[in-house]
Amino acid sequence: MKNDKDFINENYLNYVKSVSPKTNEPRSLIRAFFVGGLICCIGQGIRYLFEYAAGLNGDELAAYVSAVLIFLGAFLTGLGVYDRIGKFAGGGSIVPITGFANSVVSPAIEFKTEGYIYGVAAKMFVIAGPIIVFGVFGSVVVGLLHFGIINIF
């Protein structure tokens, strides 16, 4: 009988690494830069629109812009367009808030076949869950640091 650690065959793994195709990084970076940048420009456009046309400012303005972008991300996911953008743009469409909307809506659509409770509601945060957990946890840590630094100095 073999032991579990006997399985690792370093020679083979190095060989696989040498023959496996590599991701075209310059192409991925350029695509991510332009698509991600475009999404941010659209967001900035919406911000100007609300700022100058509706006279909003501060937190309220930021909330309106986020809400519109989340709606757009969710809507394009529902239409089956966002995954095609993602295929092209990679990180460029995952990182902005529209990508977050996509990560919530796509499992919600997918698991609808298991019903609204065990499917849609239970699986909705399968992908976004870790982002929320670490986002909240990170904000607590930053908050404590901020509080500590202010008290010290």
Partner 1 sequence: MRTVFFKNKPAIIATSSVGGPKESSGNIGEYLEVKSDDDTFGEKTFEKAEKKILYTAIGNSINNAKKSVSEIDAIIAGDLLDQIISATFSARNFDSGYLGVYNACATFTEAITLGATLINGGHLNYVVCGTSSHFSSAERQYRYPLELGCTRPPQAQWTVTGAGACVLGSGKGPKVLSATIGRVIDFGVVDVNNMGAAMAPAAADTLYTHFKETGTSPEDYDVIASGDLGALGSEILKDLIWQKGYDISRNHTDCGKMVYTMNEKEYQGGSGAGCSSMVFCSYFYKKLCEKKIKKMLLMSTGALLSSLSSQQGESIPGIAHLINIEC
Positions in the binding site for partner 1 (CB under 8 A)? 7-10, 12-13, 15-16, 19-24, 28, 77-78, 80, 82-87, 89-90, 93-94, 99, 102-103, 105-107, 109-111, 113, 127
With left for phi above 0 and alpha for psi between -120 and 50, is residue 90 left, alpha or beta?
left
Find out whether 35 and 88 touch, Cβ atoms under 8 Å. Answer: yes
Tell me the closest approach of the beta carbon of residue 79 to partner 1, in angstroms: 9
Tell the smallest beta-carbon distance from residue 151 to partner 1 (Å). 41
d(CA 22, CA 126): 29
Q: How far is the CB of 109 from partner 1 (least distance, A)?
A: 6
Encoded amino acid at 36, one letter: G
Closer CB to partner 1, 36 or 50, in the complex: 36
Smallest gap from Cβ 20 to partner 1, in A, equals 5
Q: Where are the alpha helices (DSSP H) in the chain?
A: 10-19, 25-48, 58-78, 82-89, 91-94, 97-110, 122-123, 128-152
Q: Which is nearer to partner 1, 46 or 85 (CB)?
A: 85
